[in-house]
Amino acid sequence: MKIELEGLTKRIPGTGDFISIDNLKCNNCERCLFVCVMSLWRKKEGKVYLAEDYQSKCLECAACFQVCDPGAIMFKYPVGGTGIVIEKG
């Protein structure tokens, strides 16, 4: 899959799940909603959740993981050879 982003190319060859949330630990602070530049976090009926198609849009910056004080967000980089590749030109 290729996605063109203003002159950058993003390839996602099967990243699998690399972000998850433990709703028992989540205190609904909404920091993940504000820090995600791709707007992949949502809140509905008092619960924070990740967009279903996050694997194809996530920039793998781990900002959501970094701002989560209660440790509700688990993040691991996708397996080598998968995930985001940004090329200029």
Residue 67 tokens, joined: 């701002």
* Contact between 22 and 46 (Cβ < 8 Å): no
* Contact between 58 and 3 (Cβ < 8 Å): no
| Chain-centre distance for alpha carbon 5 | 17
Mean pLDDT of the chain: 85
| Domain spans in the chain, listed from the N-terminal domain onward | 2-88
Domain 2-88 classification at class level: alpha beta
Question: Distance of CA 22 to CAs 26, 62, 66, 75, Å?
Answer: 6, 16, 15, 11
Name beta bridge partners: 75: 19
Q: pLDDT band at 3, cuts 50/70/90?
A: low
Residue with structure tokens 């609904």? Answer: 28
Give the H or E element holding residue 66.
helix 63-67
* Contact between 25 and 61 (Cβ < 8 Å): no
pTM (predicted TM-score): 0.77
| pLDDT (tens digit per residue) in 42-83 | 999 999 999 998 988 899 999 999 999 999 999 998 877 777
